[in-house]
Every structure is written in structure tokens, then in C-alpha cells.
């Protein structure tokens, strides 16, 4: 009986780890994605690259700020990849990388 119990705990733990690994993005990996695919426009400080803001005539929102953090994940994903307003579609970001970068953006929350 005891053996079954520990087997159950083992399976449950493995299942839990898998769910967490697949469901949520990885913020550390997301940082790499950000640096590669987002930073040139959104800046290293997440507040936006002033030169890009000027040339596109947009105002970037601070990604760590309340307004962006209040958005739902789905909304953030849409805005992250564009196209929206003046933002052209961001290419070369896979769905998994998008999850990672969203986790990273969440990790910026003040």
C-alpha cells in the first residue's frame, strides 16, 4: 500500500512540474527574447527608445508600469507582436518565445 502511495506522489509531482513548465513562460529566456526582438524599440529600460518614438511619432508606455501590467496576457501578446497602430508586425518570435517574453514583462512589475 505504501508503495502505491509514493508512486502516486511521484507521478503527481512529475505532472505538476510538467504543467508548470509548459503553461507558463520562462522569464529568464524571455529576457533574451526581449533583447533580441523588442529592445531596439522598447529600450533597455523598457520605457521606449526615444529615437524610435520620435520617428514613429508614438509614445511608448513603460512596460513595467501600471497601465501595461494591468493588461491581460492575451492583450499583451497581441500588442507585443503587432500590428497595432504604428507598430509593424514583429517577426521571428515563436509562440513559446512569446510566452517567455510575456513572463519577462510580468517580472518587471514594480
| Site mask for ligand HEC (CB under 6 A), range 13-52, x = bound | ------------------------xx-xxx---------x
Q: Rounded to an integer, what distance in angstroms lies between the CA atom of residue 65 and that of residue 110? A: 7
Q: Which of 26, 29, 32, 60 binds ligand HEC (CB under 6 A)?
A: 60
101 binds ligand HEC (CB under 6 A): yes
Contacting residues for 89 by C-beta, under 8 A, at least 6 apart: 81, 82, 83
Best CA proximity match to 61, nearest among 48, 72, 74, 45: 48
- Binding region for ligand HEC (CB under 6 A): 37-38, 40-42, 52, 56, 58, 60-61, 63, 68, 76, 79-80, 84-88, 90, 93, 101, 105
Amino acid at each position: 500500500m505504501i508503495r502505491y502511495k509514493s508512486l502516486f506522489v511521484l507521478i503527481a509531482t512529475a505532472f505538476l512540474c510538467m504543467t508548470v513548465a509548459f503553461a507558463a513562460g520562462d522569464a529568464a529566456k524571455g529576457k533574451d527574447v526581449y533583447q533580441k526582438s523588442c529592445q531596439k524599440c522598447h529600450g533597455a529600460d523598457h520605457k521606449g527608445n526615444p529615437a524610435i518614438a520620435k520617428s514613429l511619432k508614438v509614445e511608448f508606455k513603460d512596460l513595467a508600469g501600471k497601465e501595461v501590467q494591468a493588461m491581460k496576457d492575451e492583450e499583451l501578446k497581441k500588442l507585443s507582436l503587432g500590428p497595432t497602430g504604428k507598430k509593424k508586425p514583429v517577426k521571428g518570435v515563436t509562440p513559446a518565445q512569446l510566452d517567455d517574453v510575456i513572463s519577462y514583462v510580468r517580472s518587471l512589475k514594480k
